[in-house]
């Protein structure tokens, strides 16, 4: 399989900055793949996209699109189309003119332009709005025009920079599925940037997690969830976030608020100190007759889900926050003490290396 987009050691340091915005990025994206770049604000995900688009100059490394090294190729010659966060529509042009702008610049035949605009408009349910100006459209329609503008280009790669962030929550969910379906139908390689891990998990074939300009992990959504490589990925992916407890190593396991959690010895032997970080997903925090005593502080009933928030007391008296998603049991009352026994646990090195020691348990 060819790989239409490759970052090879791509680095960008802004003038005057000491820390690179994107550091030594190595990432290959497959033909027709929907790759999502996700991370917290300022992690460099939009910068990656802008580097690929040619809107930011790479300071080291290279970027390849198809067989071409485009590191020094001008943005307009890279054969990519981008959907911007605020859509960046041309306010003085009609929907049809917005969509056909690139083709008119290419001096494509008029019949060809008309055909492509009409096809894209039909695909995006915009046929009735072709003569309207962007200001006469709703947020969702503007977003679709921005998509349409990218589609008519028939580019090698689509780039999308948080295209759903200006939509309301309901429309966002609806548009999310539409974009994913559209991408599948068109089969165009797509790089999508978002800070929303739910968007990343639901849309991406693969998800690349970035933090402080460094690629942490790139894998399928399921694999990211099940086998995060470090504490950051573990807590960033999943909502509510994974519980993390600093726990002492005891014989044959770790001690969670007085409850013995068994861990294989060879795993524990890799720890660099007497303490490790124990990670437990909320749904793995099972309520049981015996376990660590948890004092319930808040219960959130969402209908399909229930989240129970509480605290676990350490041996020194300090409290750890904990969130659990109990299955098939009545919600405990606020103030009650319940017992939780972690089922699947993750261990991370507590010495700051944030290296996953083991998963499962």
Partner 1 sequence: MIARVGRWLFLGGFVAIIAAPVYIVIVSTVKDNAQLFTNPIGLPSPIVLSNYVRMLTESSIDTSFRNSVVVTAAAVVLTLLLASLASFGITRLTRVSGGLLFGLFILGLAVPAQVNIIPIFLQFKSLGLTNSLVGLIIINIASTLPISVFILTTFFRQLPPDMFESAVLDGAGYLRQYLSIALPLSRPALGATSIFLLVIVWNDLLYPLLLITEQSKWTLPRTLLGFQGEYLTDYTMIFTGVIIASMPMVIMYVLLQRFFIAGLTAGAVKG
Site for partner 1, rule CB under 8 A: 53-55, 75-76, 80-82, 84-86, 88-92, 101-102, 105-106, 149, 153
Give 76 or 110: the residue with its C-beta nearer to partner 1: 76
Tokens 């039909």 label which residue? 122
Q: C-beta of 93: minimal distance to partner 1 in Å?
A: 8
Q: C-beta of 147: minimal distance to partner 1 in Å?
A: 13
Q: How far is CA 134 from CA 80, 83, 103, 146, 292, in A?
A: 23, 15, 19, 10, 57
What is the rounded CA–CA span in Å between residue 33 and residue 50? 19
Give 101 or 307: the residue with its C-beta nearer to partner 1: 101
Give 103 or 338: the residue with its C-beta nearer to partner 1: 103
Strand order in the sheet with 157-161: 80-83, 157-161, 189-194, 34-38, 206-211, 214-219
Give 137 or 292: the residue with its C-beta nearer to partner 1: 137
Q: What's the DSSP call for residue 175?
A: H
Q: C-beta of 155: minimal distance to partner 1 in Å?
A: 9
Instruction: Region of 28 please: left (phi>0), alpha (psi -120 to 50) or beta.
Output: beta
Q: C-beta of 55: minimal distance to partner 1 in Å?
A: 5
Q: C-beta of 225: minimal distance to partner 1 in Å?
A: 33
Q: Which ranges constitute the DSSP H helices of the chain?
A: 45-53, 95-105, 110-123, 139-152, 169-186, 197-203, 221-226, 231-236, 265-268
What is the rounded CA–CA span in Å between residue 69 and residue 63? 6
Give 102 or 214: the residue with its C-beta nearer to partner 1: 102
Q: C-beta of 98: minimal distance to partner 1 in Å?
A: 10
Tokens 């909320």 label which residue? 282
Give 86 or 177: the residue with its C-beta nearer to partner 1: 86
């Amino acid at each position: 399989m060819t790989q239409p987009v490759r970052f090879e050691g791509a680095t960008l340091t802004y003038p005057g900055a000491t820390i690179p915005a994107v550091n030594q990025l190595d990432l290959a994206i497959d033909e027709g793949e929907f790759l999502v770049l996700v991370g917290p604000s300022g992690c460099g995900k939009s910068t990656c996209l802008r580097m690929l688009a040619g809107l930011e100059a790479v300071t080291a490394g290279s970027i390849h699109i198809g067989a071409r090294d485009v590191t020094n190729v001008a943005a307009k010659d890279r054969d990519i189309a981008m959907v911007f966060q605020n859509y960046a529509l041309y306010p003085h042009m009609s929907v049809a003119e917005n969509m056909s702008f690139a083709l008119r610049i290419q001096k494509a035949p008029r019949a060809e332009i008309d055909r492509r605009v009409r096809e894209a408009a039909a695909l995006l349910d915009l046929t009735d709005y072709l003569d309207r100006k962007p200001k006469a459209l709703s947020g969702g329609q503007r977003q679709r025009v921005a998509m349409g503008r990218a589609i008519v280009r028939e580019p090698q790669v689509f780039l999308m920079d948080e295209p759903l962030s200006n939509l309301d929550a309901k429309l966002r969910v609806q548009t999310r599925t539409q974009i994913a379906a559209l991408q599948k139908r068109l089969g165009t390689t797509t790089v999508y940037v978002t800070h929303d891990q739910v968007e990343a998990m639901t849309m991406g074939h693969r998800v690349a997690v970035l933090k402080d300009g460094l690629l942490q992990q790139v894998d399928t959504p399921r694999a990211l969830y099940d086998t995060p490589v470090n504490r950051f990925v573990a807590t960033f992916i999943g909502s509510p976030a994974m519980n993390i407890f600093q726990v002492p190593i005891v014989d044959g396991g770790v001690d969670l608020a007085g409850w013995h959690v068994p861990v294989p010895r060879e795993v524990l032997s890799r720890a660099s100190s007497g303490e490790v970080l124990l990670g437990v997903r909320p749904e793995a925090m099972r309520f049981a007759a015996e376990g660590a005593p948890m004092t319930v502080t808040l219960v959130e009933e969402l209908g399909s889900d229930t989240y129970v928030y509480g605290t676990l007391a350490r041996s020194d008296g300090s409290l750890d926050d904990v969130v659990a998603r109990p299955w098939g049991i009545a919600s405990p009352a606020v103030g009650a003490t319940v017992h939780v026994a972690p089922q699947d646990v993750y261990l991370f090195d507590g010495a700051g290396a944030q290296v996953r020691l083991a998963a499962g348990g």
